[in-house]
A and B are shown apart, each in its own frame.
Chain A
Amino acid sequence: MNKLAQYIKELGRTPIIPLAGSVGLQLTRTSMKTSLTDSGRQKEALLALCREVELDAIFTIMDLTVEAEYLGCRLKFPEDEPPAVVEPALSDEEKIDDLFEGKAVGGRMPLFAEVVQGLKASLDMPVCAYVIGPFTLAGQVMDLALAMKATRKKPEMLHHLLSRCSDLIIHYARLLTNAGADLVCILEPSAMMISASKFQEFSSHYCKKIISNNASAMSVLHICGDTNHLISEMETTGAEGLSLDSHVDIQAAYDRLAGETVLIGNVNPVDEITFGTPESVREKSEQLIRAMEGKNFILSTGCDVPQNAPLENIKAMISVKRKN
């Protein structure tokens, strides 16, 4: 049974869950870095957002570097922007096993588990958390361009790395679930850059493993950008929901699904949420809700909303809830 589809059914209307955790930072005047290094401050910002906006569920603040940092990748960690990997951890492909030796849970993983636990204790709504996707993590650990080329030149080495990455992600997903996360969303942005057959071989297979090993939580797979070529393969991961970016025609994508998979999306976080007006956001949101009426659909943003986006636009998105 698809637990996410069940949740929508029980709610009785289209849930509205923007990926907008970082907008909460405006309310508490917390810097991005502080929120990603201090669980209490992140929780405080997200609770402030929940008081201000009637969300149907809350996501933690998106951070694509937690697992990579734990594995030893060097980060750039600016005060007011999301962190990014600047140096891979793996310099010698022969030493993959050494890199993962004794690694299960660590770095800032417990911090996010604390945020989840804190939110769960204070809120009566599903709490959602993120883990990185296996191919994206492999790209961070060994350098993305090298990982891309390895799909053709060194597939065995890449599979070995992906297998170790997946095991680590499973540990983290379980940690988050045990802390109370109702939903774990896999963020696999680098997969947007590869073909469907390479995605099947080097990502979806491993996503499936992560999802089936953390089956008590609801599962979502998010890939940014134009994923029109990947929709069917994304579904084979067994993810209960697919989160699609604004480059995808969500209605057309829905028609291509084989099962009862939920689609999540896809108001443009830049053109609409950041630069749009409350009127344009409302119009776009209503349009999506109407188009997807009666289907397994969650209204969300196509991708993470920049922290400086106007709160009024998030409110405008939520406001369409009462009408349907």
Chain B
Amino acid sequence: MDREKLYIQMSEAVVKFEEERVAELAEKSLEMGLDPVETILHALSAGMLIVGDLFEKKEYFVPEILMCAEAMQAGLDILQARIPKGSTGNKGRIVIGTVFGDVHDIGKNIVKLMLEVGGYTVYDLGRDVPLEKFVEEVNRTNADIVAMSAMLTTTMMGMKKVIEMIRESNPRVRVMIGGAPVSAEVVKRFGADGYAKTAGTVLEEAEKLFKRIKQDA
């Protein structure tokens, strides 16, 4: 099997959530001497992009995304074991979490995964994160982007406070927000920089923000 064919088969196996098949092909890629970083990008990440697209088209829903993520993780575990630390996640650093009061983290976890396989280093603060913790983590990690989500109309208000704190302390950092109650109107009112309507558009949105960061620099 040639390299291109393996990439295609592996990304298809991710899309069809064939966990064992993904693992098998990951092993095979190593046997073939392929660079695991390249395999993650061209097979796993490519597969998750298709998944994101199917989600956008409403052919896939959350159960299917979670199954794909699980299949992808099986491949990722095998490939990452062969990668020296620091040679992935070079596209940028992103701090992520659900805001204080909000324990709904399914969406956040999917977004995190999309970003990780998309080549970003993600610092996950988890769920129900105290607002000042976002700023502390940005300072600790020197991150470029803060990504927050909220599922409730009440907890959503916390994102506005974080954005204000970030503007004050780290004006070069960009903020993207998401979650069920978030709309373009909310983004405007809160003064966020970006908005991923669903996990399917998050990579696109992150690319846009990084482009802006580079232009600003």
Residues on A lying within 8 angstroms of B by beta carbon are: 76, 78, 81-82, 84-86, 144-145, 148-149, 151-153, 192-195, 198, 224-225, 229, 268-271, 274-275, 303-308
Q: Is the CB of B61 within 8 A of A193?
A: yes
> B153 is contacted by which of A192, A229, A303 (Cβ under 8 Å)?
A303
What is the CA–CA distance of A97 and B154 in the complex, to the nearest angstrom?
35
Interface string of B147-177 (1 = CB under 8 A from A): 0000011111000000000000000000000
Is B106 located at the chain interface by the 8 A CB criterion? yes
What is the distance, in angstroms, from A108's C-beta to the closest C-beta of chain B? 19
What is the CA–CA distance of A59 and B67 in the complex, to the nearest angstrom?
38
What is the CA–CA distance of A55 and B61 in the complex, to the nearest angstrom?
37
The 6 closest A-B CB pairs, nearest first, are A193-B62, A148-B63, A306-B153, A195-B61, A271-B185, A151-B63
Can you list 25 A-B pairs with a CB-CB distance of less than 8 A?
Answer: A76-B128, A81-B101, A82-B154, A84-B152, A85-B103, A145-B106, A148-B62, A148-B66, A148-B106, A149-B66, A152-B17, A193-B62, A195-B58, A195-B61, A195-B64, A198-B63, A224-B180, A225-B180, A268-B183, A270-B153, A270-B156, A270-B186, A271-B185, A275-B185, A305-B153
Residues of A within 8 A of B67 (CB): 149, 152-153
Tell me the number of A-to-B contacts counted with CB atoms below 8 Å: 75
**For chain B, which range describes its interface: under 10, 10 to 19, 20 to 34, or 35 or more residues?**
20 to 34
What is the CA–CA distance of A220 and B61 in the complex, to the nearest angstrom?
24
Residues on B lying within 8 angstroms of A by beta carbon are: 17, 58, 60-64, 66-67, 70, 101-104, 106, 109, 128, 152-156, 180-181, 183, 185-186, 189
What is the CA–CA distance of A198 and B109 in the complex, to the nearest angstrom?
22
What is the CA–CA distance of A85 and B63 in the complex, to the nearest angstrom?
20
Q: Given A144-B106, A192-B180, A268-B183, 10 more contacts at CB 8 Å?
A: A84-B152, A148-B62, A148-B66, A152-B17, A195-B61, A229-B58, A270-B183, A270-B185, A270-B186, A304-B153
